[in-house]
């Protein structure tokens, strides 16, 4: 269901439904990225933390809704989810998680070259090359899904 009166100038097209082949290709990419992350030894909770942090930065309510549920199913705690936006100010995240979150943030906001260099250096200290690659791909993929949902105005409905 779109977010405005049918035919109105503000009605959004659900681009995932309008162009299903393109969306399916993005889903396939996401599945390959998820497999690469698992093969690199990244825990599912870490992948979901990256998905959530990128979605927070982008302001994607739909992806925040979906990935909060996925993180909880993967065993993430509500405490850590509650402070994720301020992860640097807590001691709740491991060095590997901190490196991945910084790298994901710099992938999402690539214009800050100094922050990107710093994040990459920290990642080199805590993550393997395969893990660095996987984290960057997770961030790239969720950024794409964020844009699909934001531009389509995918609704978030109350849980039943």
Handedness of CA 112, 115, 118, 121 (dihedral sign): negative
* pLDDT value of position 6: 53
What's the pTM value of the predicted model, to 2 decimals? 0.92
* pLDDT value of position 8: 57
Q: Which domains are present in the chain?
A: 20-152 (1.20.1290.10)
- H/E stretch holding 142 reads helix 129-152
**Mean pLDDT value across residues 55-74:** 98
pLDDT tens digits, residue range 9-57? 678 999 999 999 999 999 999 999 999 999 999 999 999 999 999 999 9
Distance CA 27, CA 6 (A): 28
CA-to-CA dists, residue 83 to 6, 9, 110, angstroms: 39, 38, 23
Q: Give percent of the chain with pLDDT exceeding 90.
A: 90
Distance CA 154, CA 159 (A): 15
* pLDDT value of position 159: 85
* pLDDT value of position 1: 46
**Mean pLDDT value across residues 3-9:** 53
* pLDDT value of position 97: 98
Whether residue 64 is predicted with pLDDT greater than 80 in this model: the reply is yes
**Mean pLDDT value across residues 120-130:** 96
């Amino acid at each position: 269901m779109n977010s405005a009166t049918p035919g109105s100038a503000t009605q959004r097209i659900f681009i995932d439904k309008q162009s299903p082949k393109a969306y399916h290709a993005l889903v396939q990419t996401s599945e390959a990225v998820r497999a690469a992350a698992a093969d690199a030894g990244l825990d599912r909770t870490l992948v979901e933390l990256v998905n959530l942090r990128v979605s927070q930065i982008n302001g994607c309510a739909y992806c925040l809704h979906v990935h909060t549920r996925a993180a909880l199913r993967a065993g993430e705690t509500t405490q850590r989810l509650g402070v994720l936006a301020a992860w640097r100010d807590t001691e709740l995240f491991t060095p590997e998680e901190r490196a991945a979150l910084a790298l994901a943030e710099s992938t999402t906001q690539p214009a800050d070259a100094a922050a990107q260099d710093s994040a990459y250096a920290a990642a080199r200290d805590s993550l393997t090359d395969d893990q660095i690659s996987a984290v960057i791909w997770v961030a790239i993929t969720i950024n794409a899904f964020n844009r699909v949902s934001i531009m389509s105005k995918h609704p978030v409905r109350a849980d039943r």
